[in-house]
Amino acid sequence: MVSFGVVMGDITRFPAEAIVNAANRYLEHGGGVAYAIAKAAAGDVREYIRISKEAMHEQLGKDSIEHGEVVVTPALGLERYGIKYVIHAVGPYCGGRWDEDKKEKLRKAILGALRKAEELGVKTIAFPAISAGIYGCPLEGVVRTFQETVEEFSQEAKSLEKVYLVLYSERDYDRARAVLENGD
C-alpha cells in the first residue's frame, strides 16, 4: 500500500530517495522549482542543464520529452539530504484553465515519475506541485489529481511506500490540506 501525504517545505532539501522536477520539455531549468533543483544539485544551473540534456539523449534518444516520459539525473549535491535521483517530468501548461485534457496530461506525468521510481527501486518519492506555478494550473485541481493518481498507482506498486507532495508556501500547503480534508 502506498501512502500519500502533503507536507510543507523546500523539495531541494526533502529527504526522499527520489525527488521529481517540474521540468519543461527541453529540460532547460530556467525558473521556478526546476531552477532551484538545478542550482542545489550542481551549483551551476547551466551544468545541470547540460547533464540533463545528455541524460535525455541517452535515455530517450531525443531532444524533448512528452507528458508521461521522464528522464533521471543524479542528485549530486542533494545526496547530503538522502536524495539519490532527480526524475524530470513535464506537466501541462494551463494558463489558468483546467479541463479533462490538462488533468490527463498531469496524470500521465505523475504516473511516469511513479513508474520510474518503482523501476529504480526507491521507497520514497517527493513531488512539487507540478504545473501549479509558472504553468498556471489551479492548485486544487493539481492536488486532487495527485491524490487520485497515487491511489490508482497503489494497485501496481511494489517497492514504493511513500509519496509526498511538497508545497513551498504555507498558503499552498493550507489549500492542499483543505482539498484532501474536505474533498473540494
- In the complex, the residues that contact ligand ADP under the rule CB under 6 A are 10-12, 22, 32-34, 36, 91, 128-135, 166, 168, 172
Q: Which is nearer to ligand ADP, 155 or 164 (CB)?
A: 164
What number of other Cβ atoms are within 10 A of residue 33's Cβ? Answer: 25
Q: Which is nearer to ligand ADP, 157 or 162 (CB)?
A: 162
Rounded to a whole number of angstroms, the minimum distance from the CB of residue 18 to ligand ADP is 14
Rounded to a whole number of angstroms, the minimum distance from the CB of residue 178 to ligand ADP is 15
Q: Which is nearer to ligand ADP, 61 or 95 (CB)?
A: 95
Rounded to a whole number of angstroms, the minimum distance from the CB of residue 16 to ligand ADP is 12
Rounded to a whole number of angstroms, the minimum distance from the CB of residue 88 to ligand ADP is 11
Residues sharing a CB contact under 8 Å with residue 124, sequence separation 6 or more, in sequence order: 15, 16, 17, 18, 160, 161, 162, 163, 164
The CA distance from 62 to 29, in Å, is 17
Q: Which is nearer to ligand ADP, 32 or 160 (CB)?
A: 32
Q: Return the closest-CA partner of residue 52 out of 76, 35, 72.
A: 72
Q: What sections of 20-166 are H helices per DSSP?
A: 32-42, 45-60, 100-120, 139-154
